[in-house]
Amino acid sequence: MGADPSDVTAEVIANKKFPYELDSEGKAKYVPIWRFTQPHMMAFHLSWLSFFMSFIATFAPASLLPVIRDDLNLTKSELGNAGVAAVCGAIAARLGMGVFVDIVGPRYGSAATMLLTAPAVFCMSLVTDYSTFAVTRFFIGCSLCMFVCCQFWCGTMFNVRIVGTANAIAAGWGNMGGGACHFIMPLIYQGIMNGGTPGYQAWRWSFFVPGGLYILTALVTLLFGIDHPSGKDYRDMKKEGTMKTKGALWPVLKCGLGNYRSWIFFLTYGYSFGVELTVDNVIVEYLFDQFGLNLAVAGALGAVFGLMNLWSRASGGMISDYVAKYWGMRGRLWALWIIQTLGGIFCIILGVVYNSLSQTIVIMIIFSIFCQQACGAHFGITPFVSRRAYGVVSGLVGAGGNTGAAITQAIWFAGTAQWQLNLPKYDGFKWMGVQTIAMTLPLFLVWFPMWGSMLTGPREGAEEEDYYLREWSAEEVAQGLHQGSMKFAMESKSQRGMKGQKSLDTIAETPAAAVKATVA
């Protein structure tokens, strides 16, 4: 059957000194962002950089919409529907990527995504009408499934006590691509035009920059990325027999898709990350049209929304980890609900101040902070939904972000089709905020037997080992496939909060843990 991967990890830890402390699974207990140590910190930096590039590629067309719409004679409805297509592409791709990384690892997942979608980025220079523009945006948008690789990779490398922080920093820095492209693409376009190229050709040449960077990032990921804390890739570990499989594919899918908590976070993430994607799609055009700004200024101001991810999404993960120290999982849930509700309130206010550019920018910044903090707080919780199907849950929740963006933009910002509302964009912001507040309420339904919910406590006698062991059959337990889940369950006792931790300190080993250890 081969050795337990934790044994391999222990051997690696014994033979190599790291500039940071590791846990029993070989995961880093800190996130020293200034380091590039293999495998933990190199994986961290490659994960956010790959996600950053996917945002650059996906929203580069949105950065140049005022120019593209004039050249291709696109209507408001066509622009809106093309924006919907851009975020729809990743819905199925994120679900598929969740399964893919569980099987082959995040390194190949990241590189394959970039190499497969880079041709679509180059093809943007060849579009001639609405249909080719929308189809190309759809295929480029598939690259947003990179988010799943990013979160899975960080979840593999960092301890449960700081996984919210690690996930949030990596995803936040990746999300910055949505703001950076609004700043970079108009400058590239302007620079090419200043070189003597006509405007109708300059915007087309601009797309060779993100396309080329995409390929370069994919090659760097293949050369320097490592899948596992042991310092080895999934493929090598499976060949050596040192990595136990997760069993058949269907049980893994069942664990992820059959857990109702996955679907609640699918819904709520649609109104944090989904709202962010929608704003990335419309903000430059809104500022350009509403306040009569030129493209460079509108792009620079619109970039502020996305660039707040430099710290705002990370702070959401940090807040989630901080409250978990005192109030456990219940604290994480309350923090997420409060932050996302505040995001909805400021989204409404953004639509109210449409007559003032200065007020719009100030409110947009405050709105972006809460919106992005909510994104970070989500992934302080989702790693605990399922250990066996972590990739599937990440993929499903991530797909919820794109689904929410597609629905929100189709309803409030797409335009003139018979089934769509033809609203000014500032009214769209108001209703998007109302929708955000309403769609955050299902968080009150999330309940973990060993930790409780926002309003109720845990079930008496419930243990983390019981929750994660139920994902495995008796035959799989006999083969030892559940051992990684049991180690994770022990680490997850930190989610009981300070009161729960004090009770654990008086017990050397819980009865449930002893039983599981004997079975293992």
pLDDT digits 0-9 by tens, 248-265 = 678 888 888 999 999 999
Domain boundary (419, 453, 487) is at 453
Tokens (6 digits) for 44: 């961290």
Phi/psi of residue 321, each to 5°?
-65, -35
Q: Which residues pair with 29 in a beta bridge?
A: none
Higher-confidence position of 362 and 482: 362
514 and 434 share a domain?
no
Q: Per-residue pLDDT tens for 274-323?
A: 999 899 889 988 999 999 998 889 989 998 998 898 889 889 989 998 99
pLDDT at 12 over 90: no
Specify if 249 maps to a domain. Answer: no
Q: Given this model, what pLDDT does residue 211 score? A: 94
Q: Given this model, what pLDDT does residue 3 score? A: 41
Domain tally, the chain:
2
Rounded CA-CA distance 113/99 in Å is 14
Which contiguous run of DSSP H or E holds residue 338? Answer: helix 312-352
**CATH number of the domain bearing residue 352:** 1.20.1250.20
pLDDT at 4 over 70: no
Domain limits for position 108: 42-238+260-453
- Three-class DSSP labels, 422-467: CCCHHHHHHHHHHHHHHHHHHHHHCEECCCEECCCCCCCCCCHHHH
Please check whether residue 86 is in contact with residue 137, taking contact to mean a CB–CB distance below 8 angstroms: yes
Q: Which residues pair with 237 in a beta bridge?
A: none
Burial of 321 (0-12, 13-18, 19+ CB in 10 A): buried
pLDDT band at 5; cut points 50, 70, 90: very low
Domain boundary (453, 472, 506) is at 453
Specify if 478 maps to a domain. Answer: yes
Question: Highest mean pLDDT range out of 83-92, 225-234, 401-410, 442-451?
Answer: 442-451
How does the average pLDDT of the chain come out, rounded?
86
Domain boundary (453, 478, 498) is at 453
Specify if 98 maps to a domain. Answer: yes
308 and 161 share a domain?
yes
Specify if 10 maps to a domain. Answer: no
Please check whether residue 228 is in contact with residue 157, taking contact to mean a CB–CB distance below 8 angstroms: no
Tokens 């905020």 sit at which residue? 433
433 and 478 share a domain?
no
Rounded CA-CA distance 13/20 in Å is 11
Amino acid sitting at position 30: Y
> Which candidate, 364, 338, 288, 514, places its Cα nearest to that of 441?
338
189 and 228 share a domain?
yes
Q: Per-residue pLDDT tens for 52-64?
A: 999 999 989 989 9
Rounded CA-CA distance 91/97 in Å is 10
Specify if 16 maps to a domain. Answer: no
Q: Given this model, what pLDDT does residue 506 score? A: 54
Rounded CA-CA distance 28/41 in Å is 9
Please check whether residue 440 is in contact with residue 432, taking contact to mean a CB–CB distance below 8 angstroms: no
281 and 319 share a domain?
yes
449 and 479 share a domain?
no
Rounded CA-CA distance 183/177 in Å is 10
202 and 277 share a domain?
yes
Which letter does DSSP use for residue 355 in this model? T
pLDDT at 178 over 90: no
Q: Which residues contact 485 (CB under 8 A, 6 or more apart)?
A: 387, 388, 468, 469, 471, 472
360 and 480 share a domain?
no
> Which candidate, 450, 435, 455, places its Cα nearest to that of 333?
455
Specify if 251 maps to a domain. Answer: no
Q: Is the dihedral of CA 323, 329, 331, 332 positive or negative?
A: positive
SS3 5: helix
> Which candidate, 273, 197, 226, 202, places its Cα nearest to that of 43?
226
Please check whether residue 334 is in contact with residue 381, taking contact to mean a CB–CB distance below 8 angstroms: no
Specify if 426 maps to a domain. Answer: yes
Question: Highest mean pLDDT range out of 186-190, 346-350, 418-422?
Answer: 346-350
Rounded CA-CA distance 436/15 in Å is 50
Tokens (6 digits) for 21: 């402390």
Q: Given this model, what pLDDT does residue 381 score? A: 94
Rounded CA-CA distance 93/112 in Å is 12
pLDDT band at 47; cut points 50, 70, 90: very high
Specify if 244 maps to a domain. Answer: no
Q: Is the dihedral of CA 37, 38, 39, 43 positive or negative?
A: positive
Q: Per-residue pLDDT tens for 29-40?
A: 888 889 898 899
- If phi > 0 it is left, if psi is from -120 to 50 it is alpha, else beta; for residue 458 that is beta
